[in-house]
Structure 1
């Protein structure tokens, strides 16, 4: 006997991947811990993560929106102001460093920055520039709104049974003054880029592991029983600031994030990893879950991922592909014709049916024609 003689079919490439039709590939995840119907669940992360919260809610799970929209807003106003997208109204959290910042600010171990961006007499929050598109009437109103979100983060972490966090990027921009990591590059969604102040950084494996570990330790400091489910977004980088090719930069970024997620899941009993990244990008699926731009995940892809998720939680196998979900993940931002001076991308109107949830999609505006 040798160890390979007793392995199940899913352990072999031929029987698990090559021989089945792609739609029949399953048994990709064995949950480390149960997630029950009544467990209080939080979701945060990159734009792909918003599908997880919606799917949990639609399946009758106990997904928590810690900062519900005030009464009187239209569905469009709630959407534009990022109500009900993630459990926390932080906007997209692409990097482990930004997750650690939000938790540190919420739990009082660090002070959030006091900078504001002023455009046309309105005040915008550099820590979440896309969340309130019309801005605030004053800096005081901005900081009060941010504090409400920090309070919601505190309360959510203290009560939750499981946090589901989707890692998105390793590339980020730091502020030399205080070291804050920005959610997106200043001067893209909002603000003004300052080459003397805003510094590009591509996080390494050790740095991502350090920041993610620190973030989760902060969360468990107020809730020792909190479980964590990590995923990696399959959405490629819109653009890379490394100077390299977008394909190799994407491979680096996703490889680091996937490796960190796997390492932490192997080290800690309370951390698990769900393979949404592999399900969408894996070789056997032949790119079928991407739109022609090879970046946007199709509704069928989202549905396929979530069927595998719930099927594994329910202990089911051979889960059928369900009808398409109503939304895609990250279509490219509409690009105006070049002009002098260039139009402000933060005010560019999306095309009909476009989903603007991915902040980094605005970077396509700057690509050469």
Structure 2
């Protein structure tokens, strides 16, 4: 007679984890989700590889916040990463696991992972809603042809739910953009906000793929023999220096960020043209000129240049309270209160600045008819305001104004061979997602990082380079 082998008694660890699992499931049955969450958290602290506990805990912690949504996503993805065989075993539980991870990636990224998961899920489940979700996330990555096919599949599988007039209209519109249902090149791509990995990854790639996308097909006019003339604040100086350091001929006319307004730019043109200028403004302007610069040397530099880069600085300026005329005082921390009493410090309008910039560009083109024009907005913030107590709000209004000015001048005028370079967007948007765009060199919050300036200029040269 054969001997029956008794199953091994559970170890103390197995007994404890088993009790916690049973307790947690009991809390779920009783709808006591807070206690269930605490119990499964304790279970995972004891056994972080418990697949079932990870799956249940991921759903228990969802509370509507982005933070918990991401935590749940990561838990589900960790199961799939640890057990890739799940994809080859399409049980209902496994499909629900993949679907949960795919939906969370679709909601908060990464989109590439969402597409990969939904592709595998749709093929395994053959469910209409999985194909529909795949179609939606494919569009975000401009994969229009596959998105159309996936939506058609969803409609075919469940016409009652997905064969709506809205979806049929979507298909007709999508097909008209691509020319036909399959095989055609995308007629128009949709811009999508970059993901965190884009912001914190390669700067040149971020600029090419997400920030200066519209310039990828722009004319190529930069060669090693190209001569640049830059004008504006310290950012324009950094830009010119970086060009010079990389072997390009570049001269820079610097205007202090504090007075780097388009009204000061207009005075610059009037000075070069020998037009009438208020004596006080003229004296102040001459004081601000960089050493060694004169009308003759400035005009000669412009005439010899192939590319003129204008960096728009700030929208606020001082004006005479009685006449409304532009004034150019000597601001300092000590006399700022007196200046604010004597003069009106106000944020100028978009139209005022558009008129001033066009006045400047018209003169530049008269002086050098074939010169290319590049307009940028300085990312260097306004350092003081006599108009608002919050300089942060004042700077936002100022930069928003100057960005609209650049848009109007570049896109809604009859000026030819003019381009907008998004240096402002690089620093303010990439800088909000990565910590080393400001203050990296000296700790000053208003100083842009030299390394990021260099990276931005490299992308600029590569974008327009003919070699």
- Range of TM-score over shorter length: 0.5 to 0.7
Deviation (angstroms), 1:105: 1.5
Distance 2:339 2:384 in 1: 19
Q: 1:332 maps to which residue? A: none
Provide the secondary structure at the position in 1 that maps to 2:317: strand
Distance 1:132 1:36 in 2: 28
Provide the secondary structure at the position in 1 that maps to 2:445: coil
Give TM-score, length-normalised by structure 2: 0.51
Match status 1:278 vs 2:425: yes
Deviation (angstroms), 1:33: 5.1
After superposition, the C-alpha distances for 1:127-183 in whole angstroms (9 at most, x for unaligned) are 2545579xxxxxxxxxxx8xx62222222233322210111101111356893442x
The answer to whether the Cα contact below 8 Å between 2:207 and 2:426 also exists between their aligned partners in 1 is no
| Pair 40,191 (structure 1): closer, same or farther in 2 beyond 3 Å | farther
Q: 1:290 maps to which residue? A: 438
| Pair 63,263 (structure 1): closer, same or farther in 2 beyond 3 Å | same
After superposition, the C-alpha distances for 1:67-96 in whole angstroms (9 at most, x for unaligned) are xxxxxxxxxxxxxxxxxxx2x366556111
Distance 2:323 2:287 in 1: 18
Q: 2:261 maps to which residue? A: 95
1:215 to 351, 360, 377: 360
Gaps of 5+ in 2: 1-174, 179-184
Provide the secondary structure at the position in 1 that maps to 2:387: coil
The answer to whether the Cα contact below 8 Å between 2:312 and 2:375 also exists between their aligned partners in 1 is yes
Deviation (angstroms), 1:301: 2.0
Q: 1:141 maps to which residue? A: none
The answer to which structure, 1 or 2, has the higher relative contact order (CA under 8 A, 6+ apart) is 1
Q: 2:121 maps to which residue? A: none
Q: 1:248 maps to which residue? A: 393
Q: 1:338 maps to which residue? A: none
Q: 2:452 maps to which residue? A: 301
The answer to whether the Cα contact below 8 Å between 1:115 and 1:126 also exists between their aligned partners in 2 is yes
2:325 to 162, 179, 184: 179
Deviation (angstroms), 1:22: 2.6
The answer to whether the Cα contact below 8 Å between 1:279 and 1:285 also exists between their aligned partners in 2 is no
Deviation (angstroms), 1:216: 0.8
The answer to whether the Cα contact below 8 Å between 1:106 and 1:150 also exists between their aligned partners in 2 is yes
Q: 1:43 maps to which residue? A: 230
The answer to whether the Cα contact below 8 Å between 1:166 and 1:233 also exists between their aligned partners in 2 is yes
Deviation (angstroms), 1:315: 7.2
The answer to whether the Cα contact below 8 Å between 2:254 and 2:290 also exists between their aligned partners in 1 is no
After superposition, the C-alpha distances for 1:85-121 in whole angstroms (9 at most, x for unaligned) are x2x366556111111211122012x2234339xxxxx
The residue correspondences of 1:26-37 to structure 2 (distance < 5 A) are 26-27=207-208, 28-29=211-212, 30=215, 31-32=218-219, 34-37=221-224
Deviation (angstroms), 1:34: 1.4
Q: 2:108 maps to which residue? A: none
Distance 1:298 1:157 in 2: 28
| Pair 158,181 (structure 1): closer, same or farther in 2 beyond 3 Å | farther
From the CA coordinates, give the structure whose radius of gyration is larger.
2
Match status 1:161 vs 2:327: no
Calculate the aligned-residue CA RMSD, in Å: 3.3
| Pair 269,287 (structure 1): closer, same or farther in 2 beyond 3 Å | farther
Match status 1:6 vs 2:186: yes
